[in-house]
Amino acid sequence: MEFIDPALLTYCEDHSTEEDTLLKKITRETQAKVMLPRMISGHLQGKMLELFTKMQNPKTILEIGTYTGYSGICMARGLGKGGKLITLDINDELETMVRGFFEESGLAEQIDYRLGNAIEIIPTLPGPFDMVFIDADKNNYARYYELIIDKMNPGGIILADNVLWSGKILVEEGKKIDKDTQAILDFNSMVQNDPRVENALLPIRDGVMMARKI
């Protein structure tokens, strides 16, 4: 998932605001106790999400894919007074851990953590949203996007993670494309050709698509 030279990555991290004790704890416990720990947002992406949130000053954020709560806490830290983060995840096995981290963050009152199928939950949410972070099952990225785009305020930002898909989006001629890679390719193309947004694909970590609703 990392495309940057390790020495350059270390340099970037050394020149970014340091992770605090809680974020380091979440990283350690995710690596020790949870399958696929590489799914955690991590230091650089987490700080990017926090800073984007502070710049956007959203009233309501929707996160699709809570995982162990790292990214949610980063975004919640950027919320202003009265702001809310709604975060959705289907994995109830992580609930106790995640709720514990949210409580420890001191931001639990601003975080609405819901378990269930996001495809079913999103239509029940009234919106509007000022910011959305998509970091869940890749096959449904396009469906999530279509479910949220009409619920976005003008000027609202959609961020989608893993859109470089470990470089698999650069398909060699004649090579078979797996379904997850195809889903990401289709999603990136859909956003690129959507007249409702202006967008930029950022080569941060595993790639972040940023789309601003016009």
pLDDT in tens, 57-82: 999 999 999 999 999 999 999 999 99
CATH number corresponding to 6-213: 3.40.50.150
Q: Estimate to the nearest angstrom the gap between the alpha carbon of 120 and the chain centroid.
A: 19
Percentage of the chain lying above the pLDDT 70 cut: 99
Phi, psi of 70 (to 5 degrees): -60, -55
- Predicted local distance difference test score (pLDDT) of residue 67: 97
pTM for the whole structure: 0.95
pLDDT at 176 over 60: yes
pLDDT average, residue stretch 192-209: 95
Structure-block tokens of residue 60: 């309501």
Residue 191: pLDDT over 70: yes
* Angle ∠(72,38,48) on CA atoms, nearest 5: 45
The full set of domain ranges for the chain reads 6-213
Residue pair 128/60 in contact (Cβ under 8 Å)? The answer is: yes
Instruction: Tokens for 146, please give them.
Output: 């279509």
pLDDT at 104: 98
Instruction: Report the range of poorest mean pLDDT among 38-47, 77-86, 189-198, 204-213.
Output: 38-47
Q: What is the mean pLDDT of residues 144-168?
A: 96
Mean pLDDT (whole number) for 110-125: 98
Phi first, then psi, for residue 188 (nearest 5°) are -60, -40
Average pLDDT for the chain: 94
Identify the pLDDT of residue 2: 60
Structure confidence at residue 205 (pLDDT): 85
